[in-house]
Structure 1
Amino acid sequence: MPANRNALIRYRAIDTCLTNRYRKWTLDDLIEKVSEALYEYEGIVKGISRRTIQADIQMMRSDKLGYNAPIVVIGKKYYAYEDPGYSITQIPLTGQDLGRMSAAVEVLRQFKGFSHFEQLNEVVQKLEAHVYSAATNNQSVIDFEKNENLKGLVYLDMLYQAVVQQKPVKIMYQAFQARNPSQFCFQIWWLKEYKNRWFAVGVREKQFEVVNLALDRMQAVQLADEVTYRPNPGIDPDVFYRDVIGVTVSTTMRACRVLIWVALEQAPYVETKPLHASQQVVERRDDGVVIELKVQLNFELEREVLGFGDGMVVLAPARLRHRLEQRLAAATMRYEASQALTVPENE
């Protein structure tokens, strides 16, 4: 990864520390946190020198990057932002920046009526909201779901370029169940976002099963120029995910008919925001509605149903109903077993 991107990771790590005013930060503390960030995002294990961090602090203080960060040293030992509300992520746009963004918004708006550019609508709305907020010095009128602390987003651009340029990558990856990370070559065919979490979708070298790799489990990514790229054989992502909720797809499982009772108070939410494109109301009752889905049975489906608590009950198929009964029973047992650990409420 280019050195300037590593520098941005260092600046962001320092900023994260200094915006946390519940702790005092020495130079050694900053070095430790920056080292952890570089290892987490880039797999870099080489230590960072004091001179590098001191140079980063001077760069952040200067106007070369537009930061002008008010970093002060307290008691000749602790680093902090003099302005408690400052962060490099909250730097206001200049007039020139606003002009450029406004021009970009106007260009993108021209494409919003074309079906090929329907996916630009959200991008245009985000830009419009940001430009409006910056130009009027007001709060944004649109607040999109986001998770700025999500790990792995630093790799998104490289993975995107790997797809566009049809180049394999070498990934250091540690699944949640794995004790140690493993490194392997991966052929990325597309990128998938689900509930604000990103996945690289493709196949491992010499394998044929399509798998999802979560970006937040990646520890290092680099191009594998020595490996020949194996292109997508023609799998359409829209067709690939057609019969599932989420990203977990089985190539051997058929979609089945799922019947779910939805409580009366939850029904308006489920009807206005369907769980899946196949959702239909098949029965209306005094106590709620029964909806039908035609989907594969996977973890994401279970999580969606469980997320409604007692507002949803699976009626069919029996194996899904039994599976959720088991999970709810296990949850009840854990609540009962943890009663001794509960913290009494303040009176």
Structure 2
Amino acid sequence: MPANKNAMTRYKILDDLLSCRYHNYSLDDLTEEVNKRLAELYPDTNGVGRRTIEKDLFYLEYEGPFLVEIERYSTPGYNSEKQKSYNKRCLRYTSPSFSIFKKDLSDDEEYLLKEALSLLGQFEGLPNLDALEGLRLGLGVRRNERKIISLTKNPLENSNLLGELFTTISHRQVVELHYHKFSSPHTGLTVNIHPYLLKEYNRRWFLFAAAESDRKLLCFSLDRIDNVVPLPSHKFIDYDGEISEIFDDTLGVTINEESPVYNIVFWVSDISKDYVATKPIHDSQKNISGSEEEKLRKIYPTRSNGRFFSIDCKENYELIRELTSFGKELIVLTPVIIRKKIENRITEMVDNYKSLEMRT
């Protein structure tokens, strides 16, 4: 038995990796993953070598109390740097459901899980995940016929897509994505991606992922995705940073890397000020008050009523659309570049309506 303080931690990590059916791990892959997770748990660790992992596997199979069954198999591998396929020797538990650390739920844990499943079962907008239904049946959780919570639902043609993508993200799996553009619905496109995040915006779901070829961050509307094919032989690369932070200065889902972050100051009428205050346009929204408000009242004397707000956002389609959607109840004051874009959109709207008058 390897006599060091990290041995049991390595067994737990190896147990997770060997029971996974979403990745094909070679001995080198197992060594790399173990070192990666050890570094997260023990930042000062020096890591372990391939020989240590070989000894760990031998102990789990033949020497320790576990006597696990591990199968060796071959699968097509893929080197993304060389863009070359090869024959990859991999390891995993013979039984997909096996784990040396598996234990039964306590009464309290089972009760909490039943309550959570009962609540989730009442959400009309929740996608149908087979695993959720299996847990419900296994724990004897009955369906609640009386709806208590209702979510707005925008049905997808492929109702299982959200569940499939959720699974690929949670298991850090590279996929081959088949999709189409709205402008060319009959032209199929394909790209290998590393999926990171599912985001709901304005009653639609979007997938954020990095292209395997150049690591560029891409956004796909789920209603444009035709099929998802897992690529277990491809090595998943994590997003560099916290993916949700890209929305700290972005409204909606269009990522405009070329735009600076603007401090946008706008006035809202008495009719809409409470609505905007209680339903912020963006998470960065602030209510302007005190001396700063007094200064704005002097600069814009015609805005004697209402309330002033500010947000810090990059310019994109959703930002201009949202600010324009309030009509005369919201006026952007600064910066001029954002105000002009809204003015241009309003002018185009007026011209469109005037063109209708000319036809009648």
TM-score, reference length from structure 1: 0.57
Alignment equivalent of 2:174, drawn from 168, 177, 187:
168
Tell me which residue corresponds to 1:95: none
After superposition, the C-alpha distances for 1:43-77 in whole angstroms (9 at most, x for unaligned) are xxxxxxxxxxxxxxxxxxxxxxxxxxxxxxxxxxx
Tell me which residue corresponds to 1:321: 339
Conservation of the 8 A alpha-carbon contact between 1:187 and 1:202: yes
Alignment equivalent of 1:213, drawn from 186, 207, 220:
220
Give the Cα separation in 2 of the matches to 1:305 and 1:105: 47
Say yes or no: does 1:157 pair with 2:175.
no
Change (3 A) 1:126 1:309: farther
Alignment equivalent of 2:240, drawn from 213, 234, 256:
234
Give the Cα separation in 2 of the matches to 1:156 and 1:270: 31
Q: Post-superposition shift, 1:141?
A: 3.9
Q: Structure 1: any 5+ residue segments left out of the alignment?
A: 1-102, 111-119, 343-347
Say yes or no: does 1:107 pair with 2:112.
yes
Aligned residue-pair number: 224
Structure whose residues are more often helix by fraction: 1
Q: Post-superposition shift, 1:296?
A: 1.0
Q: Which residue identity is paired with 2:253? A: V
Q: Which residue identity is paired with 1:302? A: I
Q: Post-superposition shift, 1:230?
A: 3.3
After superposition, the C-alpha distances for 1:239-296 in whole angstroms (9 at most, x for unaligned) are 2211111122233433210011111100000001111121112237543111111111
Conservation of the 8 A alpha-carbon contact between 1:199 and 1:212: yes
Change (3 A) 1:109 1:266: farther
Give the Cα separation in 2 of the matches to 1:310 and 1:108: 49
Say yes or no: does 1:332 pair with 2:350.
yes
Give the Cα separation in 2 of the matches to 1:335 and 1:253: 31
Tell me which residue corresponds to 2:270: 264
Give the Cα separation in 2 of the matches to 1:106 and 1:269: 40
Q: Post-superposition shift, 1:188?
A: 0.8
Tell me which residue corresponds to 1:192: 199
Secondary structure, aligned partner of 1:174 = strand
RMSD, aligned CA: 3.2
Secondary structure, aligned partner of 1:181 = strand
Give the Cα separation in 2 of the matches to 1:341 and 1:220: 45
Q: Post-superposition shift, 1:232?
A: 1.6
Q: Structure 2: any 5+ residue segments left out of the alignment?
A: 1-107, 125-142, 298-302
After superposition, the C-alpha distances for 1:15-57 in whole angstroms (9 at most, x for unaligned) are xxxxxxxxxxxxxxxxxxxxxxxxxxxxxxxxxxxxxxxxxxx
Conservation of the 8 A alpha-carbon contact between 1:152 and 1:217: no
Give the Cα separation in 2 of the matches to 1:325 and 1:263: 18
Give the Cα separation in 1 of the matches to 2:270 and 2:204: 31
Change (3 A) 1:268 1:105: farther
Conservation of the 8 A alpha-carbon contact between 2:268 and 2:330: yes
Q: Post-superposition shift, 1:171?
A: 1.8
Conservation of the 8 A alpha-carbon contact between 1:163 and 1:190: yes
Conservation of the 8 A alpha-carbon contact between 1:166 and 1:229: no
Conservation of the 8 A alpha-carbon contact between 1:171 and 1:218: yes
Change (3 A) 1:235 1:152: farther
Identity over aligned pairs, percent: 25
TM-score, reference length from structure 2: 0.55
Bigger radius of gyration: 2
After superposition, the C-alpha distances for 1:106-156 in whole angstroms (9 at most, x for unaligned) are 52598xxxxxxxxx8xx87554578xxx75x65x34332222x34454311
Tell me which residue corresponds to 1:298: 316
Give the 5 Å matches for 1:54-133: 107-108=112-113, 127=121
Q: Post-superposition shift, 1:190?
A: 2.0
Say yes or no: does 1:181 pair with 2:188.
yes
Change (3 A) 1:252 1:199: same
Secondary structure, aligned partner of 1:244 = coil
Q: Which residue identity is paired with 1:303? A: R
Conservation of the 8 A alpha-carbon contact between 1:258 and 1:317: yes
Tell me which residue corresponds to 2:306: 288
